[in-house]
């Protein structure tokens, strides 16, 4: 070691020695501490403590403005993340609240309006309305699969129009009414439009047929069966839906 290096080392030792002496004076009797006695992270074993998992206080991808529209007491949220403003494709994720945290339960591919999404939905625009909507009534062509929602089974009311393509014949085997411009507590096909006919209506969750809809959100049959059996009115379920940019706003 060069002479200058020795001098710097001596200065450092002197400074540390002064500091250690001062600490000993504060404690009264000086105690020798060996490296083996120093507590390590995680306790005596020296194993590091696992980093706690931070669970979200709200569901991912939903901004404050949209989140404020979720009713107090809601413990089940189906979030439909549209791929884009003008896209008919998306993904639905079911979240449930446990304690103060939201946990992801399952997810499925979806289709929405053929023309995408709208924050000002109109009758016939072939766009799905963006927003937060309660889920309260269900029905379909098939028998009740075991839902807690009021369920209307009606082969005539939920039969697809005869002139629709064969791919659409099972669209309404199961439906859950999205409470957009409708009277809650009525069967899904109730024609009442509180906001007027121009604002459209009859927006449902229903079975997927492989492409965009007239405004509804469609999911695989297995997903519809699962949602019908899992969603519980006492948990005040809602659907939060829209293109990803609008959801984050």
pLDDT tens for each residue of the chain, 249 residues long: 444 443 333 333 323 333 333 323 333 333 333 333 323 333 333 444 444 444 568 999 999 999 999 999 999 999 999 999 999 999 999 999 999 999 999 999 999 999 999 999 999 999 999 999 999 999 999 999 999 999 999 999 999 988 889 999 999 999 999 999 999 999 999 999 999 999 999 999 999 999 999 999 999 999 999 999 999 999 999 999 999 999 998
* Buried residues in 143-182 as b, exposed as e (16+ CB within 10 A): eebebebbbbeeeeebebeeeeeeebbbbbbbbbbbbbbb
pTM of the model: 0.77
7 and 94 part of one domain? no
Q: Does one domain contain both 92 and 127?
A: yes
111 and 147 part of one domain: yes
* Residue 1: how many other CB atoms lie within 10 Å: 8
Q: What is the pLDDT of residue 180?
A: 98
Say if residues 76 and 237 touch (Cβ distance below 8 Å).
yes
Based on the fold, state whether residues 109 and 232 are members of the same structural domain: yes
Question: What was the pLDDT predicted at 162?
Answer: 86
* Number of domains making up the chain: 2
Q: Quote the CA–CA distance of 218 and 16 in Å, as a whole number.
A: 71
- What does R_g of the chain's alpha carbons equal in angstroms? 30
- Out of 9, 29, 52, a domain closes at 52
Token pair in block for residue 239: 């659907």
Is 16 within a domain?
Answer: yes
Q: Quick one: 104 and 206 in the same domain?
A: yes
Matching residue, tokens 């500091």: 19
CA distances from 155 to 137, 166, 169, 171 (A): 17, 17, 12, 12
Flag whether 85 is in a domain. yes
Instruction: Report the C-alpha gap between 153 and 207 in whole angstroms.
Output: 15
Alpha helices in the chain (DSSP H): 3-27, 64-67, 221-230, 244-248
110 and 28 within one domain? no
| 57 is a domain residue | no
Q: 47 with 74, same domain?
A: no
DSSP type of residue 122: -
Provide the pLDDT for residue 57: 85
Does residue 58 lie within any of the structural domains? no
With CA atoms as reference, report the closest residue to 112 among 98, 96, 140, 131: 131
In this structure, are 43 and 68 located in the same domain?
no
CB proximity list for 155: less than 8 A, separation 6 or greater: 141
> Which structural domain, as residue segments, surrounds residue 10?
1-52
Burial per residue of 193-209, b for 16 or more beta-carbon CB atoms within 10 angstroms, e otherwise? beeeeeebbbbbbbbbb
Q: What is the pLDDT of residue 55?
A: 53
């Amino acid at each position: 070691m060069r002479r200058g290096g020795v001098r710097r080392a001596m200065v450092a030792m002197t400074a540390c020695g002064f500091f250690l002496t001062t600490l000993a004076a504060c404690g009264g009797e000086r105690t020798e501490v060996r490296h083996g006695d120093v507590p390590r992270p995680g306790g005596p074993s020296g194993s590091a403590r696992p980093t706690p998992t931070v669970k979200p206080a709200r569901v991912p991808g939903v901004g404050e403005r949209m989140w404020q529209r979720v009713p107090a007491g809601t413990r089940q949220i189906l979030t439909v993340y549209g791929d884009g403003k003008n896209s008919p494709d998306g993904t639905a994720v079911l979240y449930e609240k446990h304690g103060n945290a939201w946990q992801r339960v399952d997810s499925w591919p979806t289709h929405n309006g053929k023309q995408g999404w709208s924050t000002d939905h109109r009758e016939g625009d072939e766009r799905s309305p963006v927003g937060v909507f309660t889920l309260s009534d269900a029905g379909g062509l098939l028998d009740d699969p075991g839902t807690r929602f009021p369920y209307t089974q009606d082969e005539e009311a939920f039969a697809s129009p005869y002139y629709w393509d064969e791919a659409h014949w099972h669209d309404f085997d199961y439906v859950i009414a999205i409470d957009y411009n409708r009277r809650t507590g009525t069967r899904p096909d109730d024609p009442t439009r509180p906001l007027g006919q121009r604002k459209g209506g009859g927006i449902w969750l229903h079975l997927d047929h492989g492409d965009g809809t007239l405004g509804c959100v469609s999911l695989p049959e297995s997903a519809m069966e699962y949602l019908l059996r899992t969603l519980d009115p006492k948990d005040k379920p809602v659907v939060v839906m829209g293109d990803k940019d609008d959801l984050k706003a």
